[in-house]
Structure 1
Amino acid sequence: MEYRVINILQTRELKVKFTKSEESILDFIEENFEKIPEYSVIKLCEEAYASQATVNRVCKKLGFKGFSELKYSIEQDLQKMKNSKNSSINNTFFYIENINFQDLKPIVEILKKNRKVLIYGLGASEITALYFQRQLLYLGFQAIVVTEEKMIEKFHDFILFIISSSGETLRVKHVAKSFKDKGKVVISITKAGSSLHELSDCAFTHNISIDKLDAISREQQLHMIIMINELINKSRIG
């Protein structure tokens, strides 16, 4: 997203040179960026201790005809910034609203009874698995990230925690079934109603339609990180 004014003020990457008095006006505008659209040129001069001629030179050096055009561009920047912030907030709320937090209690109880945990995740979920491992280690768990089924076979007294946003990856389903067939406990963070959900003894689930997302969005792990953080917090104080 392109901003016409705020980026210039923050980087000061300009071909023209500014005097010290002009630089002080730039500093004032940057520090009071959200208020500037409400200012008149007279008020700006009074509060920035500058002359109107100096303000006009600054506006022209920034590429504007005058202060009115500068204010208009600042208003546009502020609107873009607001829209971008709202978009990020709405995106996060969307994920939160589609997480089934009621699933947490039984998983926390299992984790507290079985403090030896194997964590399995593929692709982007492997990064989340490493994050989960670090958090569990801080809580004193024996937590090991495994990436191959042969590794999993070597641990006999561990529970398996699988992280898979879709819950439909063939390798993930195979690992879950194989572990379950040995009579061992499988916990997961995955999509509600997925194959992995059905194979798990206990699952912390979300309702996000992964198959409807584009390739980049499918790889994103924001909802999984939110779920991991909530699980860790409950394990710590629950």
Structure 2
Amino acid sequence: MNIIQQLINHQNFTPTEQSINTYILENIHSIAKMSIQQLALATHSSNAAIIRICKKIGYKGYKDFKLALAIELESQKFINHSVDFSTPFYQSENYYEIINDISSLYKETINIVQAQLNINHLERISQLIINSQRIFIFAIGDSRITAMTFINKLMKINIYPILATENYEEIAMAYNMTPHDCAFFMTYNGTNNQFKTCAQILKRKNIPMITITANKNSRLVDYSDICIVIPDMENDYKIGTFYSQISFQFILTVLYSFIYKYDYMHHHQHKKNLDFYIKK
């Protein structure tokens, strides 16, 4: 759920907090330019009351809230609001309409995620994958399928990630890792208890961790050295995991491209030689 939805739907605000909340929603595009003192003055409230609101919706304070809101508003510029990411089409639609719906879903998903990407984070993740002795990928369900595609791409350029969750031995895998390895968690909701246990083990062993998730409150975010958090656009009553898997696939494709670019001519020649034998 995004910030604006949280502000609209939150049920536990005090009357003072609700008054501040109403002002924020009515002046949403001005908040990013306001200091906490200016907001307190405009709402006849206090800094403490504003900070309480921020904490109730999952932020450490006003500064974190304001930054996240600015990013969300920027990403909203790319969103076609006719797209429903959980139910992108309905039974009453004809096949041509469904094709257009799914096309819009793909385009809007990529636009939203692209607006969130941090080049520095992507570069750091790419370098970590390149420089690690072993890359252990933690992914289950539909995320596992997307992870397998990423693994397949890397194998073609002589990088061999290990799918730690392949035989449900992820805790043993985590325990056997060394600081020369890296762990890569791919989980949309970020609530898997096994992953949490793995992350605790990895943190104690000082093993670098990467996470892609849509849950900014996940403990994996706290444990990870580098994290990509995408907007949570799906609800529990979805037709399929369209948005989440398109998002992950797009991010992983960008990471693969960064890795390929790092030693472009070598990878290009290697793949060319490989393709020669595959096509024989």
* Fold shared, TM-score > 0.5 on shorter chain: yes
Deviation at 1:208, TM superposition (A): 2.3
Preserved contact between residue 168 and residue 194 of structure 1 (Cα < 8 Å): no
* Residues 110/214 of structure 1: CA separation in 2 closer, same or farther (3 Å cut): same
Deviation at 1:90, TM superposition (A): 1.2
The aligned counterpart of 1:226 is: 250
Q: Which ranges of structure 1 fall in alignment gaps of 5 or more residues? A: 1-78
Q: Which ranges of structure 2 fall in alignment gaps of 5 or more residues? A: 1-92, 263-280
1:71-129 residue CA offsets vs partner (Å, 9 max, x unmatched) = xxxxxxxx945423321121112221332221422211222222520111122222222
Query: Normalization by structure 1: what TM-score?
Result: 0.59
The aligned counterpart of 1:150 is: 172
Give the partner amino acid of 1:172: F
Q: Does 1:191 align with 2:201?
A: no
Q: Does 1:236 align with 2:260?
A: yes
Given candidates 201, 204, 208, the residue that maps to 1:178 is 201
The aligned counterpart of 2:45 is: none
Give the partner amino acid of 2:176: K
Q: Give the share of equivalent positions with the same residue, in percent.
A: 20
Q: Does 1:139 align with 2:157?
A: yes
Whole-angstrom CA distance in 2 between matches of 1:235 and 1:222: 20
The aligned counterpart of 2:237 is: 214
RMSD: 2.4
1:1-80 matches, within 5 Å, as 80=94
The aligned counterpart of 1:101 is: 117
1:179-200 residue CA offsets vs partner (Å, 9 max, x unmatched) = 1121110112212513122221
Given candidates 191, 200, 207, the residue that maps to 1:168 is 191
Deviation at 1:215, TM superposition (A): 5.1
Q: Does 1:204 align with 2:228?
A: yes
- Greater share of strand residues, 1 or 2? 1
Whole-angstrom CA distance in 2 between matches of 1:110 and 1:231: 11
1:141-169 residue CA offsets vs partner (Å, 9 max, x unmatched) = 23111112113322323211111111122
Whole-angstrom CA distance in 2 between matches of 1:171 and 1:215: 25
Given candidates 94, 98, 101, the residue that maps to 1:84 is 98
